[in-house]
Amino acid sequence: AQSVSQHNHHVILSEAASLELGCNYSYGGTVNLFWYVQYPGQHLQLLLKYFSGDPLVKGIKGFEAEFIKSKFSFNLRKPSVQWSDTAEYFCAVSPARSGNTPLVFGKGTRLSVIA
Amino acid sequence: NAGVTQTPKFQVLKTGQSMTLQCAQDMNHNSMYWYRQDPGMGLRLIYYSASEGTTDKGEVPNGYNVSRLNKREFSLRLESAAPSQTSVYFCASSEDGYTYSNQPQHFGDGTRLSIL
C-alpha cells in the first residue's frame, strides 16, 4: 500500500522568507500527486496537482511543486511567504490507474508565518 | 454554489449514544468519502463510495457504518459512540474517483464531534 511522508511537522518562518515543504511517497508505479491547504477553522482546499507532463506544477497563491520521480518526492515551494499563508499543508497521493483509488494523505505540516 | 454540505457542524455525545453525520454534494460527483482528522495524524479515510450503490472500507472503518443514499448523499453512522471517536469528520467528493484518479477532492466544512 502506498504511504506519504511529510518530514516537517511544524515550520515557523518570517514574512518574505522562502518556503519548501517536503513530501515523499512510497509507490512503485505511476502516481497522481496533490497538495491541499487547510486554513485555520476551514476545510481542505486544493493548492495544486500533478498527474502528467511538466514536473514543475504551479498552483494558486504563488505556490509551486516539483515532481522528482527518481526521489519519489513532490516538494511544495513558495519564494516569499505571507502571514496569510499560515495554515496546515497536506500532501496526498493516488495511484494513476483505474479502479478504486482513494487518496492517501500525509500527516500534514503546520506552517506559522510571523511578522 | 454550496459544494459539499455537512450537518451538524458540532455535536457532543455521551458514550454509547448513536449518531448519523449527513453529507450532501451538489456537483453531480460520482465518488464520495468520509475522513477523520486528528492532531498529528492527518486525514484518515474511514469509508468511501466510488459510485452510487457501492461502498468500501478505508483505513479506519471500525465503529462506523455508511450509506450512499443516492448520488448526492453519503451518511456516516456511529452506532455506539466511544471517546476514541472524538474527532473532526470531513466529507469529500470527487468527479469520478473510480476511473479518473487525478480528479481532486472537494471537502465540506467538517463536523466537530466530542464524545464524553
pLDDT digits (tens, 9 = 90+) for B1-42: 579 999 999 999 999 999 999 999 999 999 999 999 998 888
Give the pLDDT band of residue A97 (cuts 50, 70, 90). low
Give the pLDDT band of residue A64 (cuts 50, 70, 90). very high
Across the interface, of A43, A46, A99, the residue whose CB is closest to B109 is A43
Cβ pair B45, B97 in contact under 8 A: no
Task: Compute the average pLDDT of residues A41-47.
Answer: 91
Q: How many CA within 13 A on the CB side of residue A51? A: 10
Looking at residue A77, its pLDDT comes to: 97
Average pLDDT, chain A: 91
Which positions in chain B touch A102 (Cβ < 8 Å)?
33, 45, 48, 58, 97
Q: Taken in order B56, A39, B24, A99, is the CA torsion positive or negative?
A: negative
Nearest CA to CA, how far is A54 from chain B (Å)? 15
Task: Compute the average pLDDT of residues B55-72.
Answer: 94
**How many distinct helices (H) and strands (E) make up chain A?**
0, 12
CB contact under 8 A, B102 and A9: no
pLDDT at residue B51 above 80?
A: yes
Residue of B nearest to A102 (CA): B97
Which positions in chain A touch B109 (Cβ < 8 Å)?
42-43
Give the pLDDT band of residue A99 (cuts 50, 70, 90). low
Across the interface, of A46, A101, A108, the residue whose CB is closest to B101 is A101
Looking at residue B57, its pLDDT comes to: 92
Q: In this prediction, what percent of chain A has a pLDDT beyond 70? A: 95
Looking at residue A31, its pLDDT comes to: 86
Q: Which of A24, A6, A3, A5 shows the shortest CA–CA distance to A72?
A: A24
Main-chain phi, psi angles of B68, to 5 degrees: -95, 95
Q: Choose the mutation target among A33, A103, A104, A110 for the interface with B, i.e. most B CBs under 10 Å.
A: A103
In sequence order, which residues have a C-beta less than 8 Å from that of residue A29 and are 6 or more positions away? Answer: A95, A96, A97
Task: Compute the average pLDDT of residues A4-31.
Answer: 93
Which positions in chain A touch B101 (Cβ < 8 Å)?
32, 94-98, 101
pLDDT at residue A103 above 60?
A: yes
Across the interface, of A34, A98, A103, the residue whose CB is closest to B99 is A98
Q: Which of A1, A19, A2, A6 shows the shortest CA–CA distance to A73?
A: A6
Looking at residue A102, its pLDDT comes to: 77
Per-residue burial over B17-31, b if 16 or more Cβ lie within 10 Å, else e, is eebebbbbbeeebbb
CB contact under 8 A, A94 and B101: yes
Rounded to 10 degrees, the C-alpha dihedral A40/B30/A95/A38 comes to 0
Structure confidence by residue, pLDDT tens digits, B87-113: 999 999 998 765 556 778 899 999 999
Angstrom distance (rounded) from CA B96 to CA A94 = 13
